[in-house]
Amino acid sequence: MTCKGCSASVRHTKAEVEALVKDQLALEIDVVSNSVYQERLSICERCPNLQYGTTCGYCGCFVAFRAKLAYKRCPDPSGAKWA
């Protein structure tokens, strides 16, 4: 499957996602603690709209990236799942 906005594949291995997220997070300063991050990821992993085990079905972000950013919220249109 390819991303509708580009020709790149939207399926990535966990290792590929970890590398991409690590590189991008190195540029960020407004991040949550590891305990908050793990709690957010746990919620995302149980979400029925998680795609490919890595991607939010609502916004298209890698959940491992979005969950680490302090200024981001869960994009579920029925109500944010993160406290």
pLDDT digits (tens, 9 = 90+) for 20-53: 778 788 888 899 999 999 999 999 999 999 998 8
Residue partners of 66: CB distance under 8 A and separation at least 6: 56, 59, 72
| In a domain? residue 61 | yes
pLDDT surpasses 60 at 10: yes
Per the structure, the count of domains in the chain is 1
| In a domain? residue 8 | no
CA–CA separation, 82 and 18 (whole Å): 21
Helix or strand or coil: residue 48?
coil
| In a domain? residue 50 | yes
Cα distances from 4 to residues 1, 16, 44, 65, 83, in angstroms, run 9, 20, 22, 20, 31
| In a domain? residue 39 | yes
pLDDT attached to residue 2: 42
pLDDT surpasses 60 at 7: no
| In a domain? residue 58 | yes
Range of the domain at 57: 14-18+29-66
| In a domain? residue 33 | yes
| In a domain? residue 82 | no
